[in-house]
Amino acid sequence: MNAETLLTAARFAARAHHGQLRKGEADIPYVDHVLDVATRLAAVHPEDEVLILGGLLHDTVEDCDVTRDDIAEAFGEEVAALVMEVTDDTALPRAERKAAQEEHVRHASDRAKRLKLADKAANLTAIARTPPDWSQARMTEYVDWALRVLDPVRGLDPALEAGFDAAVAEARAVIARRG
């Protein structure tokens, strides 16, 4: 793992997400999310630099003024391809984007599936620890949807799946206490 490249990607993500905050009462900088995703991936796959870089950069095209070409120029074609594989089409309405994720993950590369496991686990942990201003029903719907997205990839990566399952359990417990 090239530490300089990793830190360059972390800086790139921090600058791209500058001023963005996570949903929730704590006003946590959005970059914490991508750092969480990359950390989850590095804990299980420390040798896979492309995967970890993808974790850091996975939301930059979707949520920021960053293009695929920007990522390819800075971090290579393989990283750019992974980022694009997990990037939602923001031109679609929210319900269609969610349905597209459910369908797409079935045909995604193993790296993209691993990244989705870490991403959804990070999102669920955030719901549990710094809940957004959502109703109990909306939080429950998010948990159920995350399971629909990722249940088809079960068997690929037991360690990441265990992290995802722990995040599901934590989110469900917090949602139940709030109800």
Q: Using one digit for the tens of pLDDT, what is the confidence trace for 44-97? A: 999 999 999 999 999 999 999 999 999 999 999 999 999 999 999 888 998 899
**Looking at the predicted structure, is the pLDDT value of residue 1 above 90?**
no
Count the domains in the chain: 1
Q: Which of 47-51, 100-104, 132-136 has the highest average model confidence (pLDDT)?
A: 47-51
Give, in order, the Cα–Cα distances in Å from 58 to each of 118, 155, 171, 178: 11, 23, 23, 31
* Catalytic annotation, residues: 62-63
The pLDDT of residue 23: 84
Q: What percent of the chain has pLDDT over 70?
A: 99
Instruction: Please give the pLDDT value at position 19.
Output: 94
- Tell me the CATH number at 70: 1.10.3210.10
* Rounded alpha-carbon distances, angstroms, from residue 111 to 7, 82, 160, 175, 178: 21, 7, 12, 30, 35
- 128/47 Cα distance (integer angstroms): 30
Beta carbons of 5 and 56 less than 8 angstroms apart: no
Residue 59 sits in which domain range? 3-178
Question: Residue 173's pLDDT is what?
Answer: 96
User: Residue holding tokens 């620890």?
Assistant: 129
pLDDT computed for residue 37 by the predictor? 98
Residue 21 backbone dihedrals phi, psi, to 5 degrees: -120, 150
Report the percentage of the chain scoring pLDDT > 90. 88
